Amino acid sequence: MSQLSSNLFISIKHLIDNAKTSLVRNINTTMLLTYFEIGKIIVENEQGGKDRAEYAKETLKNLSKQLTKEFGRGYSVDNLQWMRKFYLTFQNRITENYETAFRISSEDSNYESVSRNSIFSLSWSHYIQLMKIENEEERNFYEIEASQNSWSVRELTRQYSSAIYERLVLSRDKEGVKQLALKGQIVEKPIDVLKSHYVLEFLDLKEDNRYSESDLETEIINKLEHFMLELGKGFLFEGRQRRFTFEGDSFFVDLVFYNRLLKCFVLLDLKIGKLTHQDIGQMQMYVNYYDRKIKLEDENPTIGIILCKEENKTVIEFTLPENNKTIFAKEYKSILPSKEELKRQIN
C-alpha cells in the first residue's frame, strides 16, 4: 500500500470511528432521556390522586407487561422503578434552559434536541449505581469522575467501595470539599493528588505482614494499572528501583512516576512498617537529587510520597518544615475501608 493510500485509509477510518462513537453516544443519550420521561410520567400518574403503594405496584406490574409485549426486554418492574427514581433523583437537572432536552411530542413523536450531551453522559448501568448513593454531593462527584476518566461500571463500583470521595474529603479544606461536588478532582497543586490513605485491596496482601517491601513493590508492578487508578489523575509510570550514585554509594527509589497535570516527578518509597524519621530523611534526599539533577527548568518541584503501613504524625510534624509542600507520608490499607468510619471522621 502506498503512503498516499495509507494516509487516505487512516483519515477515512478516523472519520468513521468518530461517527460510530458519536452515534453510540447519541443513542445512549436518547435512551436515558426517554427513561427520564418515563419516570416523570410514572411519578405524575402517582400524584393524580391514587398514590397508594398497592395501586402503584399493580400499575407498574401491568405497565411492565404491556411494554414488554410491545417492545421486548428492558421494561421489567425493577427497571421501571429505577426510571421512576431516575426522574426523582435528577429532575432538578432539567432546568428551564433545557426544559427536557428531548421533548417527546404526542402529536408527531419527534424529539427536540437541546444541549443533548450535557445532561447525562454515562450509561444506564452507571446511573443505576449512582442512584444508590443518597448524598447528592457525593453522587455528583462520582458522576463527574466516571465521565471524565471513562470509568467502567466495575471501576465506578470499586472506587465507591474504596471510599475515594471520603478519602479526598479528609485531605481537603471546606472550599476543596465544595469543589469536589461541583467539578470533581481538580489537580493544580501537590496536595490535590493526595488521599487521606491509599487502598490496595486489589493486591490481595495478607494482613499478618508476611511480605517484604520487595514483595509489595512486585505486586504493585503486577497490578500497575489498578495502582495507577488508585493514585489518581495524570500519573505516568517512569520506572522502578531507579538508581543514582554519588561518592561510591548507590541509592534506589522504589517507584518513579511523572504527573503530567502537575508537570513534576512523583517519587514513591514503600515501607511495610511504622514510619520513622529516617524514612523522611531518605525521601528528602531523593527529592533533592531529582530537583537538582533530573528535573528540567520548566518542570515543577519533585513530590515525594512515603507509602507506609502506619503513619507517625508526631515524627512527620517535627521532621518536616511547617511550610512543607513536597514530601508526604500516607498509610496504605490492604482491605477496603469502612465508609461509615470515614463518614464519622468527616463529621
Q: For residues 154 and 226, is the Cβ–Cβ distance under 8 A?
A: no
**Residue 214 falls in which region: left (phi positive, over 0), alpha (psi -120 to 50) or beta:** alpha
Which parts of the chain register pLDDT below 70? 1-9, 11-12, 22, 47-55, 94-118, 206-209, 347
103 - beta bridge partners? 112
The reported pLDDT for the residue numbered 83 is: 93
The reported pLDDT for the residue numbered 100 is: 46
The three cell numbers of residue 216 are 509489595
Considering only the top CATH level, what class is 193-338? Answer: alpha beta
- Distance (Å, rounded) from C-alpha 146 to C-alpha 184? 10
Tens of pLDDT, residues 245-275? 888 899 999 999 999 999 999 999 999 999 9
- Distance (Å, rounded) from C-alpha 41 to C-alpha 36? 9
pTM of the model: 0.73
The reported pLDDT for the residue numbered 110 is: 45
The reported pLDDT for the residue numbered 343 is: 74
42 - beta bridge partners? none
Structural domain boundaries of the chain?
13-121, 193-338
The reported pLDDT for the residue numbered 109 is: 44
DSSP-derived secondary structure for 115-160: SGGGT--S-HHHHHHHTT---HHHHHHHHHHHHHTT--HHHHHHHH
Three-class SS state of 243: strand
Look-up of cell digits 465544595: 178
Three-class SS state of 103: strand
Q: For residues 140 and 52, is the Cβ–Cβ distance under 8 A?
A: no
Where are the strands (E) in 160-201, listed by range? 197-199
Q: How far is CA 92 from CA 36, 100, 295, in A?
A: 12, 11, 48
Name the H helices within 212-276.
213-222, 224-231
Tens of pLDDT, residues 123-141? 999 999 999 999 999 999 9
Cβ contacts of residue 252 below 8 Å, gap of 6+?
241, 242, 243
The reported pLDDT for the residue numbered 174 is: 73
Backbone angles phi, psi at 227, to 5 degrees: -65, -40
Helix 77-90 vs helix 53-71: crossing angle, to nearest 10 = 110
